[in-house]
Amino acid sequence: MAQTAVKAVLEGGPAELPERIVPVDPPGGELKIRFRGGYEHFRPTTRQQHTSEGALPVYEWWERTEIAE
């Protein structure tokens, strides 16, 4: 049986991010989301948030990097 992807809740960063619940692979590491010509970086916290998908780990935004063209 296939394992369900681990998901996390994103906190902070641009308000325009299309998704706030995202898959995380591997779990527990930093997360990088491509968005509008750059990457939004999120770090795991020790907190969880209750969502419609159950209790999920919270990842906090900490920086943005631009993509060189």
Q: How confident is the model at residue 1, as a pLDDT?
A: 43
- Given pLDDT bands bounded at 50, 70 and 90, which one contains residue 29? confident
Using the predicted structure, report yes or no on whether residue 62 has a pLDDT greater than 60.
yes
Distance CA 2, CA 37 (A): 34
Q: Assess if residue 2 is contained within a domain.
A: no
Using the predicted structure, report yes or no on whether residue 23 has a pLDDT greater than 60.
yes
Q: Assess if residue 1 is contained within a domain.
A: no
What range does the domain containing 38 cover? 7-66
- 21 CB contacts (<8 Å, ≥6 apart)? 7, 8, 9, 10, 51, 53, 56
- 3 state SS for 32-48: EEEECCEEEEEEEEEEE
Using the predicted structure, report yes or no on whether residue 32 has a pLDDT greater than 70.
yes
Q: Can you give the pTM of this predicted structure?
A: 0.85
Number of domains in the chain: 1
Q: Assess if residue 24 is contained within a domain.
A: yes
Mean pLDDT of the chain: 90
